[in-house]
Amino acid sequence: MHGEHTDERSADSACVIDVDDLPDGLVVTDRDGHVLTVNRAATRLTGVTRDQAAGRHLRDVFSFRDHDGRDWWKWLDTYGGLPTRSRQPELPLRTPGGQEMLVAARLVRRPARGGEVVRVVITLRDAGARARLERSRADLVSTVAHELRSPLTSVKGFTATLLAKWTRFTDNQKLVMLETVNADADRVTRLITELLDVSRIESGRLEIHRQVVDIPARARKIIAGRVAAGEPEDRFRLEAAGELPETWLDQDKIDQVLANLMENAVRHGRGTVTIAIEPNEWGVTVSVRDQGEGIPPELATRVFRQFWRGNARRRGGTGLGLFIVKGLIEAHGGTISVQRGPEGGAEFRFMVPTGTPDFA
């Protein structure tokens, strides 16, 4: 029996979670509103440390107010309301300094149902992050509407014209219009594929199907495809080390990464596009660089964001390609960065790990 109790205590202690490990801000008060603890995330959000807050009343330390200026703690009214009330839904509140946060509360009762409030657990989240996410989604909807309007207008216009006046056009005129419809349909398909990739990346639902991938062979295949589509053969140069470690990757997604980086180099750069592949201490490094103007250092942190288009004078694409590239590389456990290349242009460098995956 003694051994069983010891095991139970050990199991219980193993389940204890340090409040500083929580990703959201946490403030715990007693029933009267005096602060018992503040976790590290809450300190990061508010600048108030545990030592500064402990023992003081919540309104003296944080003083959360709603958009009408009402005292949130007074409004929470821990003594009032139904005895079964256990939570306060998340609300946007402001601190005296004007910082906006999303604040929710849980009323801990003893006994749990209908008892008196003994503690109040308050969670804090940065409202700015929520606002940025909402703006990003609004931008995504706006971009999709804009990008779809042009090709769909073209498809509809040419199709309607051909149906109404088929006999008035020569075979060459019909061919040109049908080729345009086909190209615009491909553009819509690419956009939808990119949007699905963005959705999977943001939701964490991106699936990686690993197999042994010969990265130089994949790069040669993509170069050959671009040359067959009309690019000059001397526009591309492949530099691959003689021996590379075995890499288990998702072949389709690595093809997508290489194709997007080459497309970016051709569209926004100049001169020869070089793809350099070499081993590193934990995997393989792939660099794609051009001889164009490069990317200013102050913009290096922006290039992997959604809707980044590089040189505004050279429109083209949705601005989602590099965001998707970053998501695909990180899903493989790798990293990607951009810097100035040895010949002055932009150099995108990604690293993927070697070794066999754990199929267990």
Query: Which region, left, alpha or beta, applies to residue 191 given φ > 0 means left and ψ of -120 to 50 means alpha?
Result: alpha
Break the chain into its structural domains and give their ranges.
Answer: 19-126, 131-203, 211-353
Strand partners for 30: 119
Crossing angle of the two packed helices 251-268 and 321-331, in degrees rounded to 10: 150
Whether the link from the prior residue into 342 is cis, omega within 30° of 0, is no
Q: Supply the pLDDT for residue 344.
A: 81
The CATH label, of 3.40.50.10540, 3.65.10.10, 1.10.287.130, 3.40.50.300, for the domain at 131-203 is 1.10.287.130
How is domain 19-126 classified at the CATH fold level? Beta-Lactamase (3.30.450)
Angstrom distance (rounded) from CA 175 to CA 213: 40
Angstrom distance (rounded) from CA 97 to CA 263: 47
- 3-state SS, 172-228, equals HHHHHHHHHHHHHHHHHHHHHHHHHHHHHHHHCCCCCCCEECCHHHHHHHHHHHHHH
Angstrom distance (rounded) from CA 347 to CA 360: 37
Angstrom distance (rounded) from CA 118 to CA 240: 66
* pTM strictly above 0.85: no
Q: What's the CATH superfamily of 211-353?
A: Histidine kinase-like ATPase, C-terminal domain (3.30.565.10)
In tens, the pLDDT along 206-231 reads 888 999 999 999 999 999 999 998 89
Cα-to-chain-centroid distance, residue 75: 37
Domain 19-126 identical in fold to domain 211-353:
no
Model confidence band, residue 95 (pLDDT cutoffs 50, 70, 90): confident
Q: Is residue 301 predicted with pLDDT exceeding 60?
A: yes
Q: Is residue 119 predicted with pLDDT exceeding 50?
A: yes
Q: Supply the pLDDT for residue 312.
A: 45
Residue identified by tokens 């049908």 is 178
In tens, the pLDDT along 160-203 reads 999 999 999 999 999 999 999 998 898 888 788 888 888 788 77
Q: Smallest Cα–Cα separation from 238: which of 276, 285, 279?
A: 276
